[in-house]
Amino acid sequence: SALTSLGPLTENARAPVHSLHLFGRIDERLTPSQRISVLYKFLDRTLDNQGIGGFNLPEHGTNIFNHENEFKILETATPSASIWNQVRFTYKQERQSTASVNNQPALLVLGAFNSGGAQISNRVTGQMADIEDVASVVHGKHDFHFGGGIRPRFLNAEDSSNFGGTFTFSNLSDYENSMPVLFTMNAGTPTVSFDQQEFFTFFQDDIRVRPSFSVMLGLRHQFQSNVYHYQDFAPRLAFAYAPGKGETVVRGGFGIFYERQPVLMEQQSLLYGGSAIRQIVISNPSYPNPFPVGVTPAQATPSLVTIDPDIRLPYLLQGSLAVERRMGHGQNFLTLELMTVRGVGLYRTRDVNAPLPGTMVFPDPNFININQFESTAASRSYSAAITYKSHLRKADIVAQYTLSRSLDSSSSMSALPANNYDLQGEWGRSDYDRRHRLNLVFLYNLPAGFRAAGILNVWSGLPYNI
């Protein structure tokens, strides 16, 4: 709980959530082999006083608003028993905004409380489309699946967060003596407009080599308009084998899966790249006026956010092997699955203008921080899972135990390393690494068509981060 100058503070605060969801669908069969579907979805959600609790006092909360309109058309054609084709068109309007409960400067007292305004004020409006054409053709032992699509996005962003400034105090004593250790503030033009297009194509062949053995071969290619690398091919391979009477099934697969570059990354680089918003950082400022005599926010040394010109789309190398065995004569199955995932070129942020080791000299004295988005992080995870499924006359039981380990060198795309010039020390347990997980699900059929269900989830704790 928060600790103020008057002592520990414990109180309750309202955090209401209001949501409105609407959904509609119309299906029409145009011909015996052609069908069209029209779907509409509406969302309106308001969340007030979010982010309060713990060290955050009620005045440090935010109000969040989310509005969505989505219109979708699906045209499905089956000109023959072996050919299937679907054209999908989606148009979506979205508006998201977050605003501080009040606009006072933020006061962050480390280990004690956070008060004042949250200094969060942003709004993003976007228009997005998704046009896809996917087809399937059955020929002999082969099931071919292929298609492609384009996803254009047009966005307008406004971010006036921290325009009122944030004071950081090392402890409660420094706060009581008006001695902040840091002041940060943004100034400038908080609006930007940009677009982002995504393209993809894929081909997949499901081959029934024998009644007991099947193979899947696939290849996917994708790229984005704001990432200048177009050789992102992602092959996939999978198989299933059921020897003998089919009571044992062996499944395995390996594939490459590319991630997208988030819209937020482009937005941040445009807003904080130097031409729109200036980030001001002052160490050991005066309080409550942080600027030295004669210095204005426009004259203070700024900071930047940029994107590495050599950035690429991150990808995952994922492989798995599973053995499923039917137990006895009923519907009882025991499965053992091994899985490994390796992340390559994951996103991270690095301050390329950090003072050189052993000095307080900035490589570029015209700026304080130059936080650069890069695709240089990595991750590895391993897991082994045992699953038991049983279907009884009146009940279904599913039990699963998973032993896993996850390591990485960056927790998120905005996480900064401890040493910007030596990243080896960043390798360690992932924020989401849970060594043990046990999940139990129980369903029981009651009279009159009712069903009772029970779920139990038990897992070990996450890594502690100081």
What's the pLDDT tens digit per position in 121-166?
999 999 999 999 999 999 999 999 999 999 999 999 999 999 999 9
pLDDT of residue 169: 97
Residue 217 lies in a domain: yes
Q: Name the band, by pLDDT with cuts 50, 70 and 90, for residue 466.
A: low
Cα 160 to chain center, whole Å? 23
pLDDT score at 294:
65
Q: Over the stretch 335-351, which tens digit does the pLDDT of each residue have? A: 999 999 999 999 999 99
Question: Would you say residue 127 lies in a domain?
Answer: yes
Give the count of domains, the chain: 1
Q: CA–CA separation, 401 vs 437, rounded Å?
A: 6
Asked if 399 contacts 440 with a C-beta cutoff of 8 angstroms, the reply is yes
DSSP per-residue letters across 242-271: --TTTTEEEEEEEEEEEPPPPHHHHHHHHH
Residue 1 in domain = no
In a domain, 444, yes or no: yes
Predicted structure pTM score: 0.86
pLDDT tens for 159-174 read 999 999 999 999 999 9
pLDDT at 442 over 70: yes
Residue-number span of the structural domain to which 379 is assigned: 13-459
Nearest-angstrom CA–CA distance, 263 and 224 = 11
pLDDT of 463 above 80: yes
- Give whole-number Cα distances, 16 to 49, 279, 315, in Å: 7, 33, 39
Residue 296: pLDDT above 70? no
Domain membership of residue 7 (yes or no) is: no
Return the higher-pLDDT residue of 406 and 8.
406
- Averaged pLDDT for residues 353-362: 88
Handedness of CA 362, 365, 369, 375 (dihedral sign): negative
In a domain, 191, yes or no: yes
Q: Is 109 helix (H, G, I), strand (E, B) or coil?
A: strand
Q: What angle do CA 140, 142, 143 make, to 5 degrees?
A: 120
User: In this structure, what token pair is assigned to residue 349?
Assistant: 């942020």
Is 299 within a domain?
yes
Q: What DSSP designation does 60 have?
A: G
Q: Which ranges constitute the DSSP H helices of 198-254?
A: none
User: Can you tell me whether residue 298 is helix, strand or coil?
Assistant: helix
Q: Say which CATH number the domain at 322 has.
A: 2.40.170.20
DSSP 163-176: SS-EEEESSHHHHH
Cβ count within 10 A of residue 184: 21
In a domain, 466, yes or no: no
